[in-house]
């Protein structure tokens, strides 16, 4: 069944606005306002300490102390999966599945949210223009763009959050949360292990990804559709 049918509440009607706010207040506060505020505070700190916060340098030094030449090739391969175009290897099967199930709303949400995260990554990097760490020598070339926030962190976390949202009311939820969390952490580790990002870049990318993914889900009315779809399923079963 196509998922483009549910009616979206009219924001010209105050009662509809109240109902919408009551239904989504957790997303607005915990999923958007809190991570966005956290990102803003972190960005201010980064602006004051562009060469690295004290805990940035401590964490990077600790990770670099574990560096081994035989692990670096693995980190280089893994880190390439966390950004365009190779993340498509993970995204395309999900797109095909949603298309086969005719879940067009969910498909558009996934595709446009991930593409939007790329635009956000580029624009925020240009805005903050933080230079890369460059503290350690590595065979992995230092990227030519800016450092804050991490594009790999934004894109990988956006992919994970969108999948969690799309599978939240299914039996796959905890599997997606577990594997997705490991994926996001693994990508973050590679960026730090290769010495191309500060930890605050990663954290900023995660905050931005959470804010954007959940904001986009509200724009696409994903949560409202899930509620309607579940109600319809329950009704059909009862009848």
- Provide the residue ranges of all domains of the chain, joining segments of one domain with +: 28-233
Report the pLDDT value the prediction gives residue 160, as an integer from 0 to 100: 97
Give residue-wise pLDDT tens across range 136-158.
877 888 888 999 999 999 999 99
Which tokens belong to 88? 């498509």
- Dump pLDDT digits (tens) for 198-224: 999 999 999 999 999 999 998 887 765
38-88 per-position pLDDT tens digit = 999 999 999 998 888 999 999 999 998 888 888 999 999 999 999 888 999
Mean pLDDT, the chain, integer: 86
Q: What is the 3-state secondary structure (H, E, C) of 86-140?
A: CCHHHHHHHHHHHHHCCCHHHHHHHHHHHHHHHHHHHHHHHHHCCCCCCCCCCCC
């Amino acid at each position: 069944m196509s998922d483009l049918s549910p009616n979206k509440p009219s924001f010209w009607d105050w009662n509809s606005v109240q109902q919408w706010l009551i239904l989504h207040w957790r997303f607005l506060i915990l999923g958007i306002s809190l991570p966005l505020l956290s990102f803003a505070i972190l960005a201010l700190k980064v602006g004051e300490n562009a060469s690295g916060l004290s805990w940035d340098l401590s964490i990077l030094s600790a990770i670099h102390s574990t560096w081994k030449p035989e692990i670096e090739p693995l980190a280089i391969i893994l880190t390439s999966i966390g950004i365009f175009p190779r993340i498509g290897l993970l995204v395309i099967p999900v797109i095909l599945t949603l298309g086969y199930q005719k879940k067009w709303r969910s498909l558009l949400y996934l595709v446009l949210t991930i593409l939007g995260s790329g635009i956000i990554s580029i624009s925020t990097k240009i805005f903050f223009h933080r230079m890369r760490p460059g503290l350690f020598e590595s065979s992995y070339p230092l990227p030519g763009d800016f450092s804050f926030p991490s594009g790999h962190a934004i894109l990988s976390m956006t992919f994970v959050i969108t999948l969690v949202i799309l599978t939240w009311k299914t039996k796959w939820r905890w599997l997606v949360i577990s594997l997705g969390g490991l994926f996001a952490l693994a990508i973050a580790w590679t960026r730090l292990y290769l010495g191309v990002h500060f930890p605050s870049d990663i954290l900023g990318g995660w905050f931005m990804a959470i804010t954007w993914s959940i904001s986009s889900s509200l724009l696409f009315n994903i949560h409202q559709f899930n509620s309607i779809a579940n109600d319809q399923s329950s009704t059909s079963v009862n009848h």
